[in-house]
Structure 1
């Protein structure tokens, strides 16, 4: 009589009875550990624990039972074995994807490999796995199938060589990856940001819609990747004034306005040159092509206000309905209480006051300069900010209608804060010489200005200390 351990079913049964629980416990612990650490490999181990290992155990036991009964009907055994084979193929695909692509280093060939190549590789692995599975489990002859597929591929390749050539050119372009999602391209007059890349075409957002450009077209032509220019992007624009405007003043105005743009690249300096006649060219560097539109919009808005303040005729028009004698007189009446003026004193001040407007975001008064006048806010709001050594700006206080900036004009001290318009701001400028005459006969006004200087100086120190 044959011993139990010598039976052919003993070893497989022992493997299932003892090995299955141990394997499940080990895989459970590994899965939990990987999941806590955020490792994507926990998905593969969970697949093994939940499906692959139990299906393998069932297939093993069912095969031994079928063999022990000497049954010729292997249908259910083959079905279970096929299911187990499918799960093994799935686990292999997930493992390969995890090992090669999930943790790929940025810029490596694995990171640059287009998704279409990955999909083709998956299809090939699935086809090979299915062929082996059906050949081993069901005894299917797959050699004829592969031969037929090979002949069919050759025929289709010859018939569609033009179309396939274009697709292959596009795929090679994707593999080289001269651009990525978010890059800005200039290709054949099409300029915009890449929003989608697939095996057939590149989708470019031009600002006026999505331009779909076939990969083969890009592969066969030259284009410019605007996002790979060293981190900055040069913006060029042309503006017009009049022949009566002094070119030196126009050039200085253009460079001054462009230098204050928030989109300006660090360390760059705008350059303006006259082109002859009424035209001037301005170029400046932004921190990337994506900021070009915002930079130009901000510049043109600020330039309108700056040209009016400088008395220059932007686009041949120097008219400004804001600056009128009536509005100047109303502004003087509004600031008269702050200057301790009586109704009889205001008419003499009207010819000395100048009105100005600033756009939102413009610098009304920079830090580190001695103001030539005190600016009384008529409407709008101004933010005072102190600059840290690293260039960051710390808000200090907010100045609104009825208050003023540039109070150190009276003491001839440099300003310690930047005054930036939060909205469109209208101010009334009282020159320093006029203030000197006022404080000589009004000592109280000098004390009030001194108190404001000290208060704002303390606010700036507190903001910087905080």
Structure 2
């Protein structure tokens, strides 16, 4: 027993037997902490715990025992593996330090990953050469010379292809665009969905266009996502020469201001070009919204122009604005209010039908309603605004009223939006006042509906856990 204590390998073996498990436990806790934080240092710590330390401990034990019980070749094999793992650990650690959390806009953030991969490969090859020279006494000088000559020959033979690749890599390093940006390159317009060392993949809406990096580097292109100010959707429309220009311009501004993709930090530009022609420039969140913004604007403008009595494209005819349909709507409203039909023949001349397109706002939140509205066709979504967006709490069907706070001239916090093509009967507040004077029970019904909708809005917000 005393002989074991005096053995030269005993101290190191004891240190490994006791210290290695302790260090592994510490590294396991550290690794769990880094993984929870999604820290880039988790990768080198995992490599150190799982491979470098166990192989290093094995190498130390084999080195002590190699003189009597282990062939020297096995020590060299383990030393080679250990050296290779140390090289990987050092490169991984350097990568974390330099490129783990690069600052936005810095050279570390702009450097393409392929440059890092090529540098890592070169360092690994150099490290392996030195490792074989040290462990196996290999002569790597001749191999390096041969590889250098071969590289020169291959480079001369493929100089055009290599030049294209280098041009593409330099384009990646400059980073004039990123994934998600919109490009206009050689007549191809779309959103960048992938960037690699060879090509850029652009989603044009009709498929993926693959543009070689060398082609982009050798030609001009436009990054639509980096334009100064907001990206703008444009449209040109014509009205009748009888329509007052200021009234048309106000209508264009009003319709554009209701678009959901509008960039509200920028102004809407509408102008009159003469000959009943008008143009509008609408700031939108990004190029992806430009086409949708133009299409939705033109669709809503069709409904809004007819509600305003303006002749978009020289046509002011509204298919629903007929006396017959108006009379039918008035009769439906009288039935809902339980009034005597013969006593209210005067109503038809003081109300009017309006039609809205899908998504149009009939009442904007936190404003005073301008009139009562009675749903004739379609549906109306009532929503309450919150800090997390609008929360829908009720869908109004045919035969229901909204905008009832117009009676008391109070601000209505809720919004009303058309679901599908929706037709409503607009009833001025003065008309409602006259109806209530003749039928006081209508006021009680209106108050009850207001209370029910307020309770429904509160319940909808509470159900989502929003204070």
Asked whether the two chains share a fold, i.e. TM above 0.5, the reply is yes
Instruction: Name 2:47's counterpart in structure 1.
Output: 47
Matched, 1:62 2:62: yes
Q: Per the alignment, in what secondary structure is the counterpart of residue 424 of structure 1?
A: strand
Match of residue 398, structure 2, among 390, 396, 401: 401
Change (3 A) 1:370 1:92: closer
Correspondence for 1:89: 87
Partner of 1:376: helix, strand, or coil?
Answer: strand
Residue 147 (structure 1) aligns with: 145
2:99 corresponds to which of 98, 101, 126: 101
Match of 2:186 in 1: 188
SS at structure 2 position matched to 1:33: helix
Q: Taking structure 1 as the reference length, what is the TM-score of the superposition?
A: 0.86
Of residues 29, 33, 49 in structure 2, which corresponds to 1:36?
33
CA shift digits 1:401-454 (9 cap, x unpaired): 222123344455555543322443210122344434434433333454455567
Aligned partners of 1:21 and 1:240: how far apart in 2?
87
Q: How far apart, in 1, do the equivalents of 2:444 and 2:28 lie?
A: 75
CA contact (8 A) 1:32 1:42 kept: no
**Offset of 1:237 from its aligned partner?**
2.0
Corresponding residue of 1:425: 422
CA distance in 1, matches of 2:117, 2:32: 27
**How far does residue 124 in structure 1 lie from its aligned partner after superposition?**
0.5
Q: Shift of residue 184 of structure 1?
A: 1.8
- Cα pair 1:333 1:346 within 8 Å, conserved: no
Matched residue count: 458
Structure-1 residue corresponding to 2:198: 200
For the Cα contact (< 8 Å) 1:20–1:57, is it kept in 2?
no
Taking only aligned residues, the RMSD between alpha carbons, in angstroms, comes to 3.3
- Offset, 1:267: 3.1
Aligned equivalent of 1:221: 219
C-alpha spacing 1:175/1:16, structure 2 compared with 1 (3 Å): farther
Match of 2:361 among 358, 363, 377: 363
Inter-CA distance 44–458: structure 2 relative to 1 (3 Å threshold):
closer
1:297, CA displacement in angstroms? 3.2
C-alpha distance in structure 1 between counterparts of 2:192 and 2:351, whole Å? 53
Name the stretch that deviates more: 255-264 or 107-116: 107-116
SS of corresponding position for 1:311? coil
CA contact (8 A) 1:167 1:216 kept: yes
TM-score by length of 2: 0.85
Moved more, 140-149 or 340-349: 340-349
Kindly state the Cα deviation for residue 4 of structure 1 after the two structures are TM-superposed.
8.5
CA deviation map 1:90-123 (0-9, x unaligned): 3233223322223333433222211110110111
Q: Are the counterparts in 1 of residues 367 and 412 from structure 2 also a CA contact under 8 Å?
A: yes
Quote how far apart the aligned CAs of 1:368 are: 6.0
User: Which blocks of at least 5 consecutive residues in structure 1 are unaligned?
Assistant: none
| Correspondence 1:210 to 2:208 | yes
Q: Distance in 1 between matches of 2:58 and 2:371?
A: 91
Q: Is the 8 A contact 1:192 1:206 kept in 2?
A: yes
User: Which runs of structure 2 are paired with 1:274-285 in the superposition (5 Å)?
Assistant: 274-285=272-283
Does residue 22 (structure 1) correspond to residue 15 (structure 2)? The answer is no
Task: Determine the C-alpha separation between the residues in 2 that align with 1:212 and 1:143.
Answer: 43
Aligned-pair CA distance for 1:172: 1.3
Deviates more, 1:303-312 or 1:395-404: 395-404
Q: Distance in 1 between matches of 2:457 and 2:325?
A: 34
Q: What secondary structure sits across from 2:49 in the alignment?
A: helix
Specify the SS of the correspondent of 2:271: strand
* Gap runs ≥5 in structure 2: none
Aligned ranges 1:385-396 → 2 under 5 Å: 385=383
For 1:27 and 1:460, the matched residues in 2 are separated by 57
Does the 8 Å contact 2:44/2:92 carry over to 1? yes
Evaluate the alpha carbon distance shift between residue 231 and residue 282 of structure 1 in structure 2; reply closer, same or farther with a 3 A threshold. closer
State the partner residue of 2:376. 378
